[in-house]
Amino acid sequence: MEKLSRAMFSSHITPVAAVFLLGLVYILATTLHQYRRLRHIPGPPYAGLSKWWLARNELSGEMNLRLLGVSEKYGSIARIGPNLLLTSDPDLLKRMLAVRTKYKRGDWYDAAQFDPGHQNIISERDDAAHNKLRGKMAAGYSGKDVEGLELRVDRNVRGLIKLLDEKYVAKGKRFEFARKVQYFTLDAISDISFDEPFGFLTADSDLWQYIYTAESALTAVLFCTIWPWLTKIAASFPFNRLLPSDDDPFGFGKIKGIARKQASERYGPNKKVNNDMLGSFVNHGLTPKEAESEIIVQTLAGSDTTATAIRATMLHVVTNPRVLAAFHAELDARGITGRAPDAIISEAEARTLPYLQAIIKEGLRIWPPVTGLSNKVVPPEGDTFNGIHLPGGTNIGYCAWGVFRRRDIWGDDAAEFRPERWLETEPEKLKKMEATLELIFSYGRWQCLGRNIALMETNKVIVELLRRFDLILVDPTKPWVTKNISIHAQSGLWMRGYKRV
């Protein structure tokens, strides 16, 4: 009996143990191989052995600062994962992003499938498909096909001013500036996109709890950028039932429902014809599903990043008396300060204001709105940059804070907000600064299509708010709450305003 039991036990356990041991050997061998192929590139201890180092640091909510620390300690090319490098070298970034680059988008972009199973301009990794999609959308984003694009922005700027003036400034009440700005960017992009503002400014509230739910989902999105296979699992049955639905009355699902409705109205025998961005997409051949996906992308990506640019720039200006005084002097000298209350500066005129442009450039530099790694993949044959071998198949991520804090480009005061650097720098160095700043909107074949719209909104909001109101922080010791996970989630920017004109 004892011999029989031993035989049964042995025959049952040995195969399981063998499989376990083989699996362990495979994992160790794979880890060792991954570690050895990039061992010549320095980085934090243990980062080359597991993705958990990256996850732990990105989940800190200080992803931008943690990656800056890596860049400053280990150099402009550092290792932060088993097959992941980090770079703060603008020349390498341009090499990876150039129009004819052999580098490809990495699986980091899979997490940008906001509508699971359907690619969009951000998530599409196939070069040919991306170029084709981009070609169909370019005219809409450029404004060529959008009737009164600037007027649409203007009426939403007026909506923001009216809200702040009548509900808060006139009544001596404080307001949460971070939220009001995002109400503006959400209404502006929906007005441009499908001729119908969402209505955040009119309601003066987080409609459908959209902003709250979007910010709450950042952690889940982060995990999908680190482990992209989670995206496929989330889109598969039965997990897809847990995702936001087009029929949800709140949150991201509500936005999906609006996108579906707006897109469906533009197709078929009784289609609605509008000269807005969605109309341009339809005219250039986007399918109904593609149009729906792009509306979602505009809402998510366009509103958040532009809001961050405006918030951060305004925060740095209103807390810097010297900069604020110089800007008011520029407005006074051009006769802008005393214009009619309903007048909105044109984009063309705003671009002729040197100090305004210096403020906007410096605001983007000091607080880059997008900090995600946006991994690109080294071509199969490998590459060599500044004498460093980059093996084929290696992912290389973008260190935004590292690029825009480089002392060799921005000077010893790179960590300071100083718009004058854009006005007093020698031409050759200024050229390098301008070229590096372009990385804010990516570069080359993947440059952000919404760049010009974002800059138009930023130009107008900064001028029109600062010529009308003196804005002060309610608590200068706690200016805001800002959390960084690939993009910024910002709140608690409490201000008071006082009428100037």
Conformation bin of residue 125: beta by default, left when phi > 0, alpha when psi is -120 to 50: alpha
Whether 410 contacts 392, CB under 8 Å: no
C-beta separation of 188 from 196 below 8 A: no
Nearest 10 degrees: CA dihedral of 29, 32, 37, 42?
170
pLDDT tens for 226-249 read 999 888 888 887 777 778 888 899
Say which range, 60-74, 215-229, 394-408, has the weakest mean pLDDT. 215-229
pTM as predicted: 0.93
Cα distance between residue 185 and residue 305, in whole Å: 9
C-alpha distance from residue 118 to each of 9, 112, 219, 231, 287 (Å):
50, 10, 21, 12, 12
Place of tokens 């031409």: 427
Residue linked to tokens 């100083």? 418
Q: Which amino acid is at 38?
A: L
Identify the DSSP state of 76.
S
State the average pLDDT over residues 150-165. 98
pLDDT category at 6 given cuts 50, 70, 90 is low
Q: Name the 3-class secondary structure at 341.
A: coil
**Burial degree of 108 (CB within 10 A; 0-12, 13-18, 19+):** buried
> Two tokens at 39?
């061992």
7 pLDDT above the threshold of 60: no
Do 370 and 400 touch, CB atoms closer than 8 A? yes
Alpha carbon of residue 408 to chain centroid: 26
Sheet strand arrangement including 494-499: 175-176, 494-499, 469-473
Beta-bridge mates of residue 473: 495
Three-state DSSP at 164 gives helix
At 13 the pLDDT is: 63
- Number of Cβ within 10 Å of residue 264's Cβ equals 14
Sorted by sequence, the CB contacts under 8 Å of residue 237 that are 6+ apart come out as none
Fill in the amino acid letter for 216. S
Least-confidence region, from 182-196, 213-227, 269-283, 451-465: 213-227
Range list of β-strands (E), 284-334 = none
List phi, psi (to 5°) of 48.
-80, -5
- On average, the pLDDT of the chain sits at 92
Average pLDDT value for residue range 20-38:
71
* 448 in a labelled binding site: yes
Q: Which domains does the chain have, with CATH numbers?
A: 38-499 (1.10.630.10)
Q: Count of CB atoms within 10 A of residue 257's CB? A: 17
Residue 142 φ/ψ, nearest 5 degrees: -70, -20
Mean pLDDT across the stretch 212-236?
A: 87
DSSP labels for 243-289?
S--TT-SSHHHHHHHHHHHHHHTTSSTT----SSHHHHHHHTT--HH
Question: Do the strands 383-385 and 104-105 form a parallel or antiparallel pair, or are they unpaired?
Answer: unpaired
Of 489, 485, 488, 490, nearest to 224 by C-alpha is: 485
